[in-house]
Amino acid sequence: MCLQGDVAYREAEAVHARWCTELRWSTATSPVALALGYLTPATGRVYGPTDLTERLDNLRQRLAKSNQETIWKKDFALPPECLILNPKATWCGFDPNKSGDYRTNPSGLYASEDDTSVSLGFVDDVCDGVISCSLPGLPPAFARITSGPPDYAPDRRPVTSIADGLTDRVQRSEVRDPAYVEDIARTTLEIRDLMERIFETMGMMNVDAQNLRARRENANIAQQQGLPPNAAQDKAFPAMDPVLGRPLPLTELGRQQHRRFVSLEAFENVLRENPDLLANIVREPMTGNKYYDQQMPALMRGSDRYPMHISRRQYDLLMAWVQRLQKNVEE
């Protein structure tokens, strides 16, 4: 897009109707001022390879021979104008079992063949693009734009954020320095922030539904290890039946418990009486345990599909902070 006075403005107005909310151009004597608002969301269409119909027919026939059903029923079809991908493209034959790339975990993040996990090559509609702007006598400028869904829960913060992950990478060792934890005011602020975020996360979780999922996951993991399915179901919480006025009893119980601990004074008193509590109920990072149990953060799935844990820095800080509290009691 080359902007040259009023002509460029009128040209841009045509584009404005489709994906811009605002476009301003300064006068010749004032500094350049350009504002673009990217608004139009995608229509939500899904695109696939040109041979999708034939591929799904072959999948149905293959599964029918072994008396299996497919989720891709006969009446499923993408509009012909959406079958645009090259069947030989890497994504149309992506197989995580062969590639060693498991970024598509957990299952269900992409459309695949029922029996092989090979990608069907579906691509979601996207809302992104590149804006280029050139002015006479100046090098062109480029910017990437994107439009996404609104924040799922703008008033809630995650237990472990991207910032926590980055801090863990570059400042993990600082919490292992006794001098760091001796500054009890600073570390207490960090712990208070963590406890508030835990409570906020609880506020957007259906613990009862996640518990049922975890019990199924545990049964599947047990079978993969050659154990009977019921050998690990009860590692998660026992299922609780809803009662009148309490349709989600586990969720309600969890929120009550964590609401108490937002008051750090109450949390500290509990830990002074039971200094081993956190070591027993908080999941240590990277232990290799694949089962969803009652350790915290409970019932939450990590990026590898197994139980989520807080960062190593967060865990080490918690443990060091508890030890410092106990030292205060002994003194």
pLDDT per position as a tens digit, 51-97: 999 999 999 999 999 888 888 988 898 999 999 999 999 999 999 88
Cα diameter, the chain: 79
Tell me: do 187 and 217 sit in the same domain. Answer: yes
pLDDT tens figures, 242-286: 888 889 999 999 999 899 999 989 999 999 889 899 999 999 998
Tally of domains within the chain: 3
pLDDT tens figures, 155-193: 889 999 989 999 999 999 999 999 998 888 889 899 999
**3-class DSSP assignment, residue 47:** strand
Q: Would 287 be classed as within a structural domain?
A: yes
Tell me: do 136 and 110 sit in the same domain. Answer: no
Tell me: do 187 and 309 sit in the same domain. Answer: yes
**3-class DSSP assignment, residue 193:** helix
Q: Would 226 be classed as within a structural domain?
A: yes
Q: Would 155 be classed as within a structural domain?
A: no
Tell me: do 175 and 227 sit in the same domain. Answer: yes
The predicted model scores a pTM of 0.65
SS3 assignment for 271-295: HHHCCCHHHHHECCCCCCCCCCCCC
Q: CB–CB of 18/40 below 8 Å?
A: yes
Residue 98: C-alpha distances to residues 49, 109, 258 (Å): 21, 17, 43
Instruction: Compute the mean pLDDT over every residue in the chain, rounded to the nearest whole number.
Output: 83
Tell me: do 78 and 224 sit in the same domain. Answer: no
Question: Is residue 123 pLDDT above 80, yes or no?
Answer: yes
Tell me: do 107 and 17 sit in the same domain. Answer: no
Task: Indicate if the alpha-carbon torsion angle 312, 163, 254, 289 is positive or negative.
Answer: negative
* Burial classification of residue 218, based on how many CB atoms lie within 10 Å of its CB (0-12 exposed, 13-18 middle, 19 or more buried): buried
Please state the length of the chain: 331
Q: Would 153 be classed as within a structural domain?
A: no
Tell me: do 227 and 90 sit in the same domain. Answer: no
DSSP track, 51-95: THHHHHHHHHHHHHHTT---SS-TT----GGGEEE-TTSGGGG--
Q: Would 157 be classed as within a structural domain?
A: no
Q: Would 176 be classed as within a structural domain?
A: yes
Domain range for 97: 46-123
Backbone conformation region of residue 254, classed left if phi is above 0, alpha if psi is from -120 to 50, else beta: alpha
